[in-house]
Homo-oligomer: A and B are copies of this chain.
Amino acid sequence: MDVDSRINAALNNALHSSKGPACPPGLADAMEYAVFPGGHRIRPRLCFAVAMAHEEPDAAVLDAAVSSIELLHCASLVHDDMPCFDNADMRRGKPAVHVEFGESLALLCGDALIVHAFQVLAGVAPVAPRRVANLLGVVSQGVGAPDGIVAGQAWECETSRNLRDYQRGKTGVLFAAATMAGAAAAGAPHEDWFALGESMGEAYQVADDLLDRFGTAEVIGKPVGRDAQLDRSNAVSEMGVDGASQRLSDIIDEMIETIPDCPGRRGLSDLIRVEATRFTELALRARQAA
């Protein structure tokens, strides 16, 4: 099974318990709609790649780790798109959850996906309590207060903020949770994997900011120009187009250096470069075409 199929199978399995008569059908449909079909699944791919660079990844724990990371990411998209936040109608090329199911169900769907991320970890906790204890810490820190993605979003409600702290919270910390979760699922020390995830998150965010400026809604599947409309600072508004493009190239070179020593370090370096290049090229091409 290739990596994408395995990630989708794990997510499908994770959502299994929300199917059946016990679950309100609207909630079950909204959860499925928010998770499938996915985007690039970049965070779970990263988690998976780090785990496989180690000698003893636990298959069930790894499936739970990649699922929890992606469910939390999907939850954040559902809530971010709501009218009281970004008020974005489209996501992944289709109507946003609140447009398709209404605001009440979108609110509950995001909540249920957050909780589901932890239910999935609970499901493997009895077989590997120590690995799951580490995973629980890594994953919950990546999304909560003081500096996970929820906090990153909350900086948007402040009148003054530091762009780096804001983007680090908004994107970098969940990417860091993904790399650390990969190590934790393999029973390896996870702290050293923070830097790689954080760099990957920064690269992704700068690329996303360039796409917000130069991309089209058809290509990226969501509205563009939102940051300018909402008068929200991003890498392009702070560093200029050239500065942001240069920063993007620099980060990719730097991040390879941060990969900790591990049995599969060489293969992982190649894979990280491919993954990073995939989304950065999209941004740089969009800029050239504009």
Q: How far is the CA of A150 from the CA of B102 in the complex (A)?
A: 16
Please give me the residue from chain B that is nearest to A106 by CB atom: B84
Residues B107 and A155 in contact, CB atoms below 8 Å apart: no
Q: How far is the CA of A121 from the CA of B135 in the complex (A)?
A: 12
Neighbour of A150 across the interface among B22, B112, B122, B151, CB < 8 A: B112
Residue A223 is within 8 A (CB to CB) of chain B in the complex? no
The interface on chain A, measured as residues whose beta carbon lies within 8 A of the other chain's beta carbons, has a size of 62
Known contacts A112-B145, A145-B17; decide if A102 and B133 are in contact (CB<8 Å): no
Minimum C-beta distance from A278 to chain B (A): 29
Secondary structure of the A contact surface, majority rule = helix
Residues B125 and A137 in contact, CB atoms below 8 Å apart: yes
Residues of the B chain whose Cβ atoms lie less than 8 Å from the Cβ of A155: 24
Residue A2 is within 8 A (CB to CB) of chain B in the complex? no
Minimum C-beta distance from A99 to chain B (A): 13
Additional A-B contact list (8), CB under 8 Å, known A75-B111, A125-B129 = A22-B151, A26-B158, A82-B107, A111-B114, A115-B143, A116-B145, A118-B144, A125-B136
